[in-house]
Amino acid sequence: MSISFSLVSEDSNARLGKIITKRGIINTPAFMPVGTAATVKALTVDQVNQTGSEVILCNTYHLFLRPGVERIERVGGLHKFMNYNKPILTDSGGFQVMSLSKNTKITEEGATFNSHIDGKKIFISPEISIDIQKKLNADIIMVFDECPEYSKDKKRIEDSMNLSLRWAKRSKDEFGLNKDKYLFGIVQGGIFKDLRKICLMELQDIDFNGYALGGLAVGEPQYEMFETVEEISVLMPKNKPRYLMGTGTPGDLLGAVKRGIDMFDCVLPTRTGRTGLAFTWDGKINLRNAQYAKDDSPIDIRVNCPASQLYSKNYINHLFNCNEILASTLLTWHNIAFYQDLMSKIRQSISEFKFQEFFNQHFERLNN
């Protein structure tokens, strides 16, 4: 099966598509659960599959630090290492270098930093990042970029963008000819739309299999993120996937699909699932709250998931109060299933040319 992207249908700017990989088809718009360290926290692979997830994201930075690339490469890559036979996207590590590492020094050559785990000095360049991702045997690989913090300092953002563009070219050169894998470019430029446009045009000159919007959902208000996405997505190639990195809430997803985005990832459904927060079709609920000790209804009967339908709010509340590990498993399972249910219904609404109606019905409630 050769790789390709097909745009199946459009409803205004909302897009219905298929990303074809050698390990299966990803129906878009798609949400990718985050499997940072080769595991979606608290879940087995079978549970992840039961949610309807068609692709997951794993993290280059974390896997590079531990268990190390050689250990994963020795068994044939991430899929065999974690017993997962569907597509995997690996991010390049640029965001984690910014957000997690210590004493980071950015130069033309790459990023030097101290590991957040043991303080060991580490160097990652575009070439090293791509080499790691190829050894991990990911299906979709991201260029190495600098992901700056949210800033209104245009000179700072422009300098970072230009460095990321030079790194993107080096990433493409290192990637070489890989007909079974995708390489995505990352559009940077902060909240400055003119910089985003320049970055996109230069990335298109380099030519990638898909294009991501990076440097968003890093502290800017939602309306600024939506404005940036709306301005740039209409300029992105129609025949290639569009990926908004690190986003987000159910409202974020709905708003970004409305503005032409195809792919998403975020730690939110797993992270909040471990702390008691459930996403439902009625909005967010915190199952740690005492009121749920008397609520014997399931988490959300409308979500096609055993955790959602078979376990009561009362029981989940009890598990969290007792610090039982099962609480994290059940609520994480439910949250990812809810996200996938949301994406499935979004795809259905686009196919029926009813996306705006679906958006109007659900956005306000799911965005709170």
The tens digit of pLDDT for each residue in 320-359 reads 999 999 999 999 999 999 999 999 999 999 999 999 999 9
- How many angstroms from the chain centroid is the CA of residue 13? 20
pLDDT confidence of residue 189: 96
pLDDT confidence of residue 99: 74
Residues 255 and 320 in one domain: no
Residues 256 and 298 in one domain: no
Q: Residue 184 forms beta bridges with which residues?
A: 142, 210
Residues 104 and 25 in one domain: yes
Residue 320 amino acid letter: F
Output phi, psi for 126, to 5 deg.
Answer: -55, -40
The average confidence (pLDDT) of the chain is: 96
Mean pLDDT of 143-164: 94
Residues 257 and 286 in one domain: no
| pTM, rounded to two decimals | 0.97
For the chain, the domain total comes to: 2
For residue 267, what pLDDT band results from cuts at 50, 70 and 90? very high
Decide: 252 and 285 in contact? Cβ < 8 Å: no
Residue with tokens 């298929």: 18
Cα 273 from Cα 267, distance rounded (Å): 10
Residues 167 and 240 in one domain: yes
What are the angstrom distances between the C-alpha of 334 and each of 153, 289, 324? 40, 18, 16
Residues 340 and 191 in one domain: no
Residues 173 and 236 in one domain: yes
- Of the candidates 249, 266, 283, which is a domain's last residue? 266
Give 148's contacts (C-beta < 8 A, 6+ positions apart): 98, 156, 157, 160, 188, 190, 215
| Residue 254 belongs to some domain of the structure | yes
Residues 348 and 226 in one domain: no
Residues 188 and 244 in one domain: yes
pLDDT confidence of residue 1: 57
Cα 364 from Cα 116, distance rounded (Å): 38
Q: Give the strand pairing for 263-266 and 30-33.
A: parallel
| Residue 178 belongs to some domain of the structure | yes
| Residue 173 belongs to some domain of the structure | yes
What are the angstrom distances between the C-alpha of 327 and each of 40, 53, 179? 15, 21, 42
| Residue 330 belongs to some domain of the structure | yes
Cα 157 from Cα 341, distance rounded (Å): 37
- Of the candidates 245, 266, 287, which is a domain's last residue? 266
Domain that holds residue 12: 4-266
| pLDDT tops 90 at residue 160 | yes
Q: Residue 124 forms beta bridges with which residues?
A: 111
CATH of the domain at 37: 3.20.20.105
Residues 250 and 287 in one domain: no
Convert the pLDDT of each residue in 53-102 to its tens digit.
Answer: 999 999 999 999 999 999 999 999 999 999 999 999 999 887 787 777 77
Residues 184 and 300 in one domain: no
- Of the candidates 266, 293, 327, which is a domain's last residue? 266
Residues 178 and 324 in one domain: no
Q: Show which residues are catalytic.
A: 91, 265
| Residue 368 belongs to some domain of the structure | no
| Residue 74 belongs to some domain of the structure | yes
